[in-house]
Amino acid sequence: MGVSLVMRADNLLMLNTTQKDYDLFWGRVYGQGDLYVDGPVSGLSITTPNMKALNGSTFTFNSSSTSNVEEFKMLRFLKEGKDGLVTLEDKKKTGANMNVDFSLSVDKGTTVNVLVGDDVGNITVKGSADPLKFHMNRQGILQ
């Protein structure tokens, strides 16, 4: 089964997670722009070529995280059983197997936190960035 989705949004909740959900990155980010989701369900590519973070968004990236890609919970798929009940699709332990390529224009009302570690310190930025890029390949490697 494959997906090919193009979405043009004015106020899309792109991320709504806490550190408890996934220790590597979390926050609440609302966006305006285009979102592309493409590929087989087992290997999606998610791209935001011209997304703008809306005022009040917050994103935290934890570069000192010990999490691994097995904990990646961004997308969950449902299945309908023969009895008509909808349940979570069984997840095989395979790693992320997902390309995530976010290019985001950030305004002065958006907060971006980067947790570097106790030996260096943490960075909190509230200001403009165009674009702020975040890329995770299918092996779970961040750039």
Highest mean pLDDT among 49-53, 85-89, 133-137: 49-53
pLDDT tens track for 122-139: 666 666 777 777 777 777
pLDDT tens track for 98-124: 777 777 788 788 887 777 666 555 666
| Entry pTM | 0.61
Contact by Cβ (8 Å): 112, 57: no
CA 44 – CA 3 distance, rounded (Å): 8
